Amino acid sequence: MITYKTEISEFDWENLVDLYDETNMCIGLGQKRETEKIRRAFQNSYRFVTAWDSGKIIGCARMISDGECYGWIHDMAVLPAYRKQDIGRTIVEKLLEGNEGLLIGLTSSFEAVDFYTKLGFKKHKTAMAKYPGRSDYLFD
């Protein structure tokens, strides 16, 4: 059975890094195994939701927010073997629970656009972003 948590113990950060390593997400910090940076980033987030199969984290995402006006979703990942089982949808729903009045933004990966569309997100006409380096996601 898949279970969901909004807190994880001190011992589970490596488990979370494994998820981002295996999915090459979290801006590559997982593959560099920057556990402390990931821990700080998640602990400084408004909320994060992990999905578990027994003792293994098989999905996660987090939301950065002021809790009043805006929220931003990042680092959505589900292990390949667990995809298309509504785990990603459940994680996003749990992130948004009680935050229905917030304006929620995100930048999708190329492959997740249809996923977010199914969850009710729409493309933004004027969204802009600034990255620390170059990115295939930005127009020149």
What are the residues binding ligand COA (CB under 6 A)? Answer: 23, 25, 76-78, 83-89, 108-109, 111-112, 114-115, 118
Q: Shortest gap between Cβ of 76 and ligand COA (angstroms)?
A: 4
Measured from each CB, the residue nearest to ligand COA is 88
Given the complex with ligand COA, which of 80 and 98 has the nearer CB atom? 80
Burial class (CB in 10 A: 0-12, 13-18, 19+), 54: exposed
Given the complex with ligand COA, which of 35 and 85 has the nearer CB atom? 85
- SS3 track for the chain: CEEEECCCCHHHHHHHHHHHHHHCCHHHCCCCCCHHHHHHHHHCCCEEEEEEECCEEEEEEEEEECCCCEEEEEEEEECHHHCCCCHHHHHHHHHHCCCCCCEEEECCCHHHHHHHHHCCCCCCCCCCCCCCCCCCCCCC
Q: Shortest gap between Cβ of 10 and ligand COA (angstroms)?
A: 25
Q: Shortest gap between Cβ of 91 and ligand COA (angstroms)?
A: 8
Given the complex with ligand COA, which of 12 and 115 has the nearer CB atom? 115
Q: Shortest gap between Cβ of 79 and ligand COA (angstroms)?
A: 8
Given the complex with ligand COA, which of 76 and 96 has the nearer CB atom? 76
